[in-house]
Amino acid sequence: MKVVTTIQALTAEIQARKRDQQSIGLVPTMGYLHEGHLTLAKTARAENDVVVMSIFVNPTQFGPNEDFESYPRDLPQDTELAASAGVDIIFAPSVEEMYPYDGGIRIHAGEQATILCGASRPGHFDGVLQVVSKLFHLVQPTKAYFGQKDAQQVALIATMVRDFNYPLEMRVVPIVREEDGLAKSSRNVYLNEAERLEAPAIYEALQLARDSFLTNGDAENALMKAKAHIAAKTHGKIDYMELLAYPDLTPVTANTEQVLLATAVYIGSTRLIDNCIFNVKEGL
Amino acid sequence: MKVVTTIQALTAEIQARKRDQQSIGLVPTMGYLHEGHLTLAKTARAENDVVVMSIFVNPTQFGPNEDFESYPRDLPQDTELAASAGVDIIFAPSVEEMYPYDGGIRIHAGEQATILCGASRPGHFDGVLQVVSKLFHLVQPTKAYFGQKDAQQVALIATMVRDFNYPLEMRVVPIVREEDGLAKSSRNVYLNEAERLEAPAIYEALQLARDSFLTNGDAENALMKAKAHIAAKTHGKIDYMELLAYPDLTPVTANTEQVLLATAVYIGSTRLIDNCIFNVKEGL
Domain ranges of chain A: 2-173, 186-279
- Return d(Cα B250, Cα B247) in angstroms, integer: 8
Q: Give the model's pLDDT for residue A130.
A: 98
B188 close to B196: Cβ distance less than 8 angstroms: yes
- What's the pLDDT score for residue B280? 92
Gap from B100 CA to chain A (nearest CA, Å): 8
Are residues A150 and A107 in contact, defined by beta-carbon separation less than 8 angstroms?
Answer: no
Find out whether A91 and A14 touch, Cβ atoms under 8 Å. no
* Alpha-carbon gap: B259 to the closest alpha carbon of chain A (Å): 15
Confidence at A282, pLDDT banded by 50, 70, 90: confident
Instruction: Sort out which chain B residues have CB atoms less than 8 A from A164's CB and list them.
Output: 105, 130, 133-134, 137
Question: Is residue A186's pLDDT more than 90?
Answer: no
State whether B165 and A134 contact (CB < 8 Å). Answer: yes
Q: Chain B residues with CB inside 8 Å of A134's CB? A: 164-165
- What is the reported pLDDT for B138? 98
User: In Å, how far from its chain's centre is CA A258?
Assistant: 17
pLDDT at B284 over 60: no
- Chain B partners within 8 Å of A103 (Cβ): 110, 112, 159-160, 162-163, 247-248
Are B260 and B244 in contact, with CB atoms under 8 Å apart? Answer: yes
CATH number of B186-282: 3.30.1300.10
List CB contacts of A179: < 8 A, sequence separation 6 or more.
none
**Spatial separation of the C-alpha atoms in residues A58 and A80, rounded to whole Å:** 22
Q: How far apart are CA B265 and CA B139, in angstroms?
A: 36
Q: What's chain B's average pLDDT?
A: 95
Q: Which residues of A touch B130 (CB under 8 A)?
A: 164
- Are A103 and B159 in contact (CB < 8 Å)? yes
| pLDDT reported for residue B281 | 83
Asked if the domains B2-173 and B186-282 are classified in one and the same CATH topology, the answer is: no
pLDDT tens track for A255-275: 999 999 999 999 999 999 999
Stretch 221-250 of chain B: residues touching chain A, C-beta under 8 Å:
247-248
A260: which chain B residues are within 8 Å (Cβ-Cβ)?
Answer: none
User: Would you name the residues of A annotated as active-site residues?
Assistant: 37
Chain B contact for A17, CB < 8 A? no
Q: Which CATH architecture has domain A186-279?
A: 2-Layer Sandwich (3.30)
In the structure, what pLDDT confidence band is assigned to residue B283 with cuts at 50, 70 and 90?
low
Confidence class for position A281, pLDDT limits 50, 70, 90 = confident
DSSP structural state of residue B167: S
DSSP structural state of residue A177: B
Residue range B73-102: mean pLDDT, rounded: 97
Sign of CA dihedral B3, B8, B11, B16: negative
Distance from the Cα of A110 to chain B's closest Cα (Å) equals: 5
pLDDT score, position A39: 96
pLDDT higher than 70, residue B201:
yes
State mean pLDDT over B147-157. 96
Order of strands across the sheet with B258-267?
B237-245, B258-267, B270-279
Of the partner residues B103, B111, B137, the one whose CB lies closest to the CB of residue A167: B137
Of the listed ranges A226-230, B24-28, B109-113, B263-267, the one predicted with least confidence: B109-113
Size of interface A-B (CB pairs under 8 A): 96
CA atoms lying within 13 Å on the CB side of residue B146: 20
For A91-117, write each residue's pLDDT tens digit: 999 999 999 999 999 999 999 999 999
Task: Using a CB–CB cutoff of 8 Å, tell me whether A21 touches chain B.
Answer: yes
Is ipTM strictly over 0.85? yes
Q: Which of A42-51, A261-270, B170-179, B275-284 has the lowest mean pLDDT?
A: B275-284
Q: Which tens digit of pLDDT belongs to each residue from A73-87?
A: 999 999 999 999 999
d(CA B113, CA B115): 6
The Cα of B115 is separated from the nearest Cα of chain A by a number of Å equal to 13
Cβ neighbours, 10 Å, residue B114: 13
Q: How many CA atoms lie within 13 A of B138 on its CB side?
A: 30
Helices (H) and strands (E) in chain B, counts: 9, 10
Count CB neighbours of A10 within 10 A: 24
Q: B271: pLDDT confidence band, cut at 50, 70 and 90?
A: very high
Report the alpha-carbon distance of residue B234 to residue A183 in Å, rounded.
74
Q: Is the pLDDT of residue B56 over 80?
A: yes
Cα B217 to Cα B271: distance, rounded to the nearest angstrom: 29
SS3 B7: helix
Stretch A230-247: mean pLDDT? 96
- Strand, helix or coil for residue A145: strand
Q: Chain A: residue nearest B22 by CA?
A: A19
| pLDDT tens figures, A11-44 | 999 999 999 999 999 999 999 999 999 999 999 9
Local structure of B25: helix, strand or coil = strand
CB A27 within 8 A of CB A55: no
Question: Which pLDDT does position A218 carry in this prediction?
Answer: 94
pLDDT at A192 over 60: yes
Output the pLDDT for position A179: 96
Confidence bin at B65 (pLDDT 50/70/90): confident
pLDDT score at A283: 60
Class of domain A2-173 as given by CATH: alpha beta
Average pLDDT, chain A: 95
Candidate from A105, A112, A162 with C-beta closest to B108: A105
